[in-house]
Structure 1
Amino acid sequence: MWYRTDSGGVGVAFTDVAEGNLAAHTGDEPAEVARRRRRVEAELGTGPVRYAWQVHGTAVHDVTGTAFDAADPLASPEADAVVSADGTPVGILTADCLPVVLVGRRPGRVPVLAVAHAGRPGLLAGVLQETVAAVRAHGALDLEAWIGPAVCGACYEVPAEMVREAEETLPGVATTTSWGTDGLDLPGAARSLLEERGVRVREETADRAAWCTLENDELYSYRRDKTPGRLAGLVWVSEEGGRDE
């Protein structure tokens, strides 16, 4: 497990290659993906986790009060963020894109949980803004975020024209790679977006060199390996966190 914490009755974790590929949409055998997911859920004590079928968009799927077949990893809604206000655990899958976990607190009630898949297209289109709005729509006022392992700004090289267009949409996202070429700093831009909207970003996720998927063999990186493997960003209500009745 790359990272695991309990924050005020809410568990947050990001997996690594030790847990295996947790995505069913990249060509792996669904039964094997389901087996790995159950193993991670048992290790963390989450209960069945709801994922999304990610398409680099901005749609947020609200799973509050809905049922699903946990044995079928292909039975996921097409969306790039998932939110739950009833304690349902949620997860997002990535291999260079940003996995972002959000927790919204509500006095006397179960926290609102959310995850977002924020690759370059989704981040520029507003997936994080939509996710924050969905969490707040459930009455959460105090929001906290974890930005999980992703390719860092020192490693994310893109064409100059792409940088220009991205900077027009999201000022401050442009950067220079460690070898002097044009790049984008998606983790830094995500942090700025969240903080501008009053979301506290956990400091331990700010060390991007340690959390760079391209630089760490213990993390999946599509850019490095063209891998079908995906790590998961997960959030759940831990035992002391309680649930709504």
Structure 2
Amino acid sequence: MIGQREGASGAHFAFTDRWGGVSAAPYAELNLGGAVGDDPEAVRTNRELAAKSLGLDPGLVVWMNQVHGNDVAEVDGPWQGETVPRVDAVVTATRGVALAVLTADCVPVLLADPVAGVAAAAHAGRPGMIAGVVPAAVRAMVKLGADPARIVARTGPAVCGRCYEVPEAMRTEVADVEPAAYAETSWGTPAVDVAAGVHAQLERLGVRDREQSPVCTLESDDHFSYRRDRTTGRLAGYVWLG
């Protein structure tokens, strides 16, 4: 169910795979996305299963209405009886609150400064990466007392640069903003490496403690991939401070 979990000096990071849930095909099994056409009751059950497997209270997990932008919301707990805002990053200084990001090829970015007690989760697809959602999340953390030199960054399963084929004009557009994202597929055509772009942005911001998942979602049958399957579920990344 949980493909990777790590604790780092009070900061906790976890990424799911697609197994251990109750959703039927084509969302089988642990679909955590509520806006992809799956049965809402199955999604609720899956979110409860995932949270409990991490020792989290499902009612203290903050989700986003992701739109491939760069807006950040500061939270101190889940949304209470209100519409979930259209943002692609959330930041908190409240310990025990878990922040979640949904993906199915995009890069899930989890950030934490355990000393300051500040955490953030960001959804970095190609548009969000070039719009600067990750730098925006780091800036929001700094406003709450975080220091980039102390921030721990983890990026989860995502489509890799060897598989993310794009038109030449799109590669040029992306590379003009973030040269590190320039890539070529394993079969020799233009590509974009979003994770490489994200890590380059973090490096420039002074975030040194970084790790990148080796999993390519398009290549892995254990993970959801929109580019591979189109109608499919969503993975989740979670970050929280104990």
Determine the structure 2 residue equivalent to 1:228: 232
Residue 120 (str. 1) matches residue 126 (str. 2): yes
Residue 189 of structure 1, CA deviation = 1.1
Identical positions, percent: 44
Conservation of the 8 A alpha-carbon contact between 1:106 and 1:139 = no
In the TM superposition, 1:79-98 aligns within 5 A as: 79-87=87-95, 88-98=97-107
SS of residue matched to 2:101: strand
The code of the aligned residue for 2:56 comes to T
Over the aligned positions, Cα root-mean-square deviation in angstroms equals: 1.6
The Cα of 1:46 is off from its aligned counterpart by 1.9
Matches within 5 A, 1:56-205: 56-64=68-76, 67-68=79-80, 75-87=83-95, 88-106=97-115, 111-141=117-147, 142-203=150-211, 205=212
Structure 2 segments unaligned to the other structure (5+ residues): 21-29
User: What is the CA distance between 1:106 and its match in structure 2?
Assistant: 3.1
User: CA separation of 1:175/1:119 partners in 2, compared to 1, >3 Å: closer, same or farther?
Assistant: same
Distance in 1, matches of 2:80 and 2:102, equals: 18
Partner of residue 23, structure 1 = 33
Name segments (4+ residues, structure 1) moved above 6 Å.
none
Structure-1-length-normalised TM-score: 0.88
Distance apart, 1:75 and its partner CA: 4.8
Q: Do the aligned residues in 2 keep the contact of 1:115 with 1:234 (CA within 8 Å)?
A: yes
Query: The residue matched to 2:61 in structure 1 has which SS?
Result: coil
Query: What amino acid is the match of 1:197?
Result: L
| Partners of 1:49 and 1:228 in 2: CA distance | 22
- Equivalent pairs counted in the alignment come to 227
TM-fit CA distance, 1:227? 3.0
| CA distance in structure 1 between the aligned counterparts of 2:197 and 2:13, rounded to whole angstroms | 22
How far apart are the structure 1 equivalents of 2:224 and 2:78?
Answer: 31
> Do the aligned residues in 1 keep the contact of 2:103 with 2:235 (CA within 8 Å)?
yes
| Contact 1:194 1:201 (C-alpha < 8 Å) held by counterparts | no
Write the letter of the residue equivalent to 1:49.
Answer: V
Secondary structure of the structure 1 residue equivalent to 2:19: helix
1:166/1:91 Cα in 2 relative to 1: closer, same or farther (>3 Å)?
Answer: same
- State TM-score, norm by structure 2: 0.89
Q: 1:192 to 1:206 in 2, by over 3 A?
A: farther
Give 5+ residue unaligned stretches, structure 1: 239-245
Cα separation, 2, equivalents of 1:201 and 1:25: 33
Higher mean C-alpha displacement, 119-128 vs 97-106: 97-106
- Bigger drift between 211-220 and 193-202 goes to 193-202
